[in-house]
């Protein structure tokens, strides 16, 4: 993945310009731009580390289960606008140190799985790795949010190895099935974070869709188990019947 340090700086400057007088901006950029750029680059490195771990698990587990448990992996670095907005909203200082200290989701990795059981299998395997420390776990699959949102969220700490130091970085990992991701993406477009008046009909319909998508996940998982069981009982295609029957007599 390409490092995008310069575009981060440009975005940050653009955000500050819209909010502050010119002389304050110059002072702020001089004080914070370089440390901010460095911090964002460390977060990008941490995302790469975590993404690689999931690619490795996907490769290994795909041999074991004869299918890929991971459909896709998305990574995102929180935008300067969202960082500032979150710090402000929660009453934290607007400093580079405060970003690292107070926000857990600057680096985000979203792992989209085929089936709900893949989520728990993958997250267990990931958390067993000795360079991953679990800081927080929120299981919105076992206990969906009141609006119907489902996903497994982990905040972990992982080391990145720089030329002269080892640095611990926080990464938020979200695990979803395809249908959980489909619902969350559309709900995000329709409602999430929008300053809309509460519309009961929309809320109820979105909740209903979340329930339906959970039922579809459960049905698809059941079909997958049935298919996998019957494939296990079937004689291997590489082993012709005649050979199996006479193997003991050769």
Q: Which residues bind ligand 0O2 (CB under 6 A)?
A: 104-105, 138, 145, 147, 149, 153, 184, 187-188, 192
Q: What is the rounded distance in angstroms from the CA atom of residue 27 to the CA atom of residue 6?
A: 18
As a whole number of Å, the end-to-end CA separation of the chain is 56
Comparing CB distances to ligand 0O2, the nearer of 146 and 242 is: 146
Structure tokens at 55: 């690619």
Comparing CB distances to ligand 0O2, the nearer of 61 and 152 is: 152
Q: How far is the CB of 171 from ligand 0O2 (least distance, A)?
A: 12
Comparing CB distances to ligand 0O2, the nearer of 61 and 184 is: 184
Question: Residue 54: which residues within 8 A CB-CB, separation 6 or more?
Answer: 70, 73, 109, 111, 122, 126
Comparing CB distances to ligand 0O2, the nearer of 45 and 109 is: 109
User: Of the candidates 222, 57, 213, which has an alpha carbon nearest to the alpha carbon of residue 123?
Assistant: 57
Q: How far is the CB of 29 from ligand 0O2 (least distance, A)?
A: 25
Residue appearing with tokens 């938020």: 172
Q: How far is the CB of 99 from ligand 0O2 (least distance, A)?
A: 12
Comparing CB distances to ligand 0O2, the nearer of 83 and 160 is: 83
CA 12, distance to chain mean position in Å, is 24
Q: How far is the CB of 235 from ligand 0O2 (least distance, A)?
A: 46
Using DSSP, state whether 184 is helix, strand or coil. helix
* Contact between residue 155 and residue 172 where contact means Cβ atoms under 8 Å apart: yes
Q: How far is the CB of 16 from ligand 0O2 (least distance, A)?
A: 21
* Contact between residue 202 and residue 190 where contact means Cβ atoms under 8 Å apart: yes
Q: What is the rounded distance in angstroms from the CA atom of residue 73 to the CA atom of residue 84?
A: 26
Q: What is the rounded distance in angstroms from the CA atom of residue 217 to the CA atom of residue 113?
A: 11
Comparing CB distances to ligand 0O2, the nearer of 8 and 187 is: 187
Comparing CB distances to ligand 0O2, the nearer of 74 and 225 is: 74
Q: How far is the CB of 195 from ligand 0O2 (least distance, A)?
A: 14
Q: How far is the CB of 34 from ligand 0O2 (least distance, A)?
A: 25
Query: What's 248's DSSP letter?
Result: G
> Burial level of 35, CB count in 10 A (0-12/13-18/19+)?
middle
């Amino acid at each position: 993945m390409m490092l995008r340090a310069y575009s981060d700086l440009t975005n940050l400057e653009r955000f500050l310009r819209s909010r502050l007088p010119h002389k304050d901006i110059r002072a702020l950029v001089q004080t914070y731009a370089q440390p901010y750029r460095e911090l964002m680059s460390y977060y990008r490195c941490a995302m790469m580390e975590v993404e690689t771990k999931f690619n490795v698990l996907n490769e290994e587990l795909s041999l074991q289960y004869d299918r890929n448990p991971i459909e896709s992996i998305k990574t995102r670095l929180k935008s300067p606008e969202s960082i500032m907005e979150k710090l402000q909203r929660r009453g934290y200082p607007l400093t580079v140190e405060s970003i690292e200290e107070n926000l857990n989701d600057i680096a985000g990795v979203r792992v989209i799985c085929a089936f709900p059981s893949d989520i728990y299998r993958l997250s267990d395997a990931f958390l067993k790795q000795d360079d991953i420390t679990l800081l927080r776990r929120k299981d919105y699959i076992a206990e969906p949010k009141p609006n119907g949102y489902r996903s497994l969220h982990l905040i972990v700490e992982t080391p990145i190895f720089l030329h002269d130091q080892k640095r611990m970085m926080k990464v938020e990992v979200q695990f979803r099935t395809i249908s959980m991701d489909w619902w969350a993406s559309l709900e995000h477009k329709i409602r999430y974070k929008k300053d809309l008046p509460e519309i009961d009909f929309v809320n109820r319909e979105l909740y209903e869709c979340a329930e339906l998508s959970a039922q579809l996940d459960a049905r698809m998982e059941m079909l997958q188990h049935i298919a996998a069981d019957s494939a296990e009982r079937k004689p291997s295609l590489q082993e012709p019947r005649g050979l199996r029957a006479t193997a003991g007599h050769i």
